[in-house]
């Protein structure tokens, strides 16, 4: 039985993406994995929270501050 290889999704690194990564490395002074995790928490934390609140408001049918 021959095992099939999984296809690898490769992202093309453009100059714009390279510059964004370079700026993030400088802004967050990333040197370790813990630094990367802290940067991701900072960048994505409020976005995920806002998305979850919007989903809950849609589910309940009213906004957080409404009675």
Please give the span between the terminal C-alpha atoms of the chain, in angstroms, as a whole number: 62
Q: So what's the pLDDT on residue 60?
A: 87
Give CA–CA dist 55/49, Å, rounded.
10
Mean pLDDT, consecutive 10-residue stretches, the chain (67 aa), reads 79 92 92 93 90 90 75
| Residue 30, helix vs strand vs coil | coil
pLDDT of residue 61: 85
Phi, psi of 11 (to 5 degrees): -95, 130
Residues 40, 34: Cα–Cα separation, whole Å:
10
């Amino acid at each position: 039985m021959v095992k099939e290889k999984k296809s690898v999704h490769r992202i093309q690194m453009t100059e714009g993406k390279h510059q964004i990564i370079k700026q993030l490395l400088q802004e967050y002074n990333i040197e370790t994995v813990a630094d990367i995790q802290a940067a991701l928490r900072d960048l994505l934390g409020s976005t995920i929270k806002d998305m979850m609140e919007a989903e809950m408001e849609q589910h309940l049918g009213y906004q957080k501050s409404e009675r």
